Structure 1
Amino acid sequence: MDFCAIDFETATHQRNSACEFGICIVQNSEIVETKTWLIKPPSFPYFNQNNINIHGISPEDVKDSPTFEEIWNEIEEMLYGTLIIAHNASFDASVLKGCLDHYGIFTPKLQYLCSIQLAKKSWNYLPKYGLKHLAEYHQIKFNHHRAGDDAEVCAKISLLALEKLFLTRNEELYENMKSKIKKL
């Protein structure tokens, strides 16, 4: 199973305001790399206090960070040709699209799947499917609302869900979840 799990944190309610991006690369059902970037959003130095309260990232933290446009080539290389999985994927996909649109970057053909859908299919008896709740259920400790940690926990939960569903190859995943896989 090959995929990458991603997560964004944002500075404001604007979808182009990514202030942190995390990616966790999975190859042959093993986590091989997790990487995080702090990002200077277009709204800099303005950050919404509610967002800061959630993730703890302040304007001071990103003042010397690159913009999304400056890191896009590296991110695109990691995403190219692989399925993207994110927890609440519609949010992360909209932030990715918002950033690409803001900088006038061509939107690549990417497919994504929400790990909540995988979790609901695997553990249909749970009362909640938030990332924190699923991590607690599987006894995975992490620093919630930091992009690299969230991406890695998303990857771990996805791997556990795929194992529970007896899906061992990407082709099986595409067949089993085809109605849930979206295009960017």
Structure 2
Amino acid sequence: MIDFCAIDFETATHERNSACEMGICVVENGEIVKTQTWLIKPPSFPYFHPRNIDVHGILPEDVQDAPSFEDIWHEAENLMYGNLMIAHNAAFDAGVLRSCLDYYGFFKPKINYLCSISIAKKSWKNLPKYGLKSLAEHHHLSFNHHRAGDDAEVCAKISLLAFDKLMVTSNDEVQEVMKKNMKLL
């Protein structure tokens, strides 16, 4: 069966290390087993760019008592340990993760990651849009868009539906079918 974690970040500014929310959805044996969300106090605190607030609605006062990325990383890393990582627009989320790890001086784990957009394009050709909201609507999934836990969980659900459509049932098969799209963190 397929094991992976879907991940999503929201950021406070244009800086990639400014994560203000992180969501991880853990999939074991093709089933969602846990979704965890953390509000994070970013290095830019108390500054949040107004445009970012417009996207996700997270305000500086929402994170004033939140832990830093440094404080939550070990818990998050344990959820991700040994897993394939999937994100919607993965280049962004992998970049945020890399930047946060660099900022706090953590080693980068050796994690393979995939973008759920490429998985969706392989599964459902000729859809008009492949954004998370569009794919969720196409599959009748409702969620609170631009909140990290919800986005991670919908990313996981869409990925599972896509793997089902591709008749992919194991991580080895994911590697084989998606090998051109697989990247290393």
TM-score normalized by structure 2?
0.99
In the alignment, does 2:111 pair up with 1:110? yes
Counterparts of 1:120-159 in structure 2, within 5 Å, are 120-159=121-160
1:44 is aligned to 45
Q: Deviations over 1:84-143 (max 9, x none)?
A: 000000000000000001011111111100000000000011010000000000000000
Give the aligned partner of residue 99 of structure 1: 100
The answer for the alignment partner of 2:24 in structure 1 is 23
Distance 2:131 2:180 in 1: 21
CA distance in 1, matches of 2:65, 2:169: 42
How many residues align? The count is: 184
**Deviation at 1:42?**
0.1
Aligned-partner SS, 2:174: helix
CA distance in 2, matches of 1:103, 1:4: 22
* Aligned ranges 1:58-97 → 2 under 5 Å: 58-97=59-98
Moved over 3 A (4+): none
Alpha-carbon distance between aligned partners in 2 of 1:172 and 1:112, rounded to the nearest angstrom: 14
Q: After superposition, what is the alpha-carbon deviation per residue over 1:58-107, rounded to whole angstroms, capped at 9, x for unaligned?
A: 00000000000000100111111010000000000000000001011111
Query: Unaligned regions of 5+ residues in structure 1, if any?
Result: none
Give the Cα–Cα distance (whole angstroms) in 2 for the partners of residues 107 and 131 of structure 1. 27
Tell me, which stretches of 5 or more residues in structure 2 are unaligned? none
User: 1-side partners of 2:110 and 2:173: how far apart?
Assistant: 21
For residues 108 and 176 of structure 1, the distance between their equivalents in structure 2, rounded to whole angstroms, comes to 23
Q: Secondary structure at the match of 1:100?
A: helix
- Specify the code of the residue in structure 1 equivalent to 2:36: K
Q: TM-score, normalised by structure 1?
A: 0.99
Instruction: Supply the distance in 2 between the matched residues of 1:96 and 1:111 (Cα, whole angstroms).
Output: 13
In structure 2, what is the Cα distance between the partners aligned to 1:86 and 1:155?
A: 8
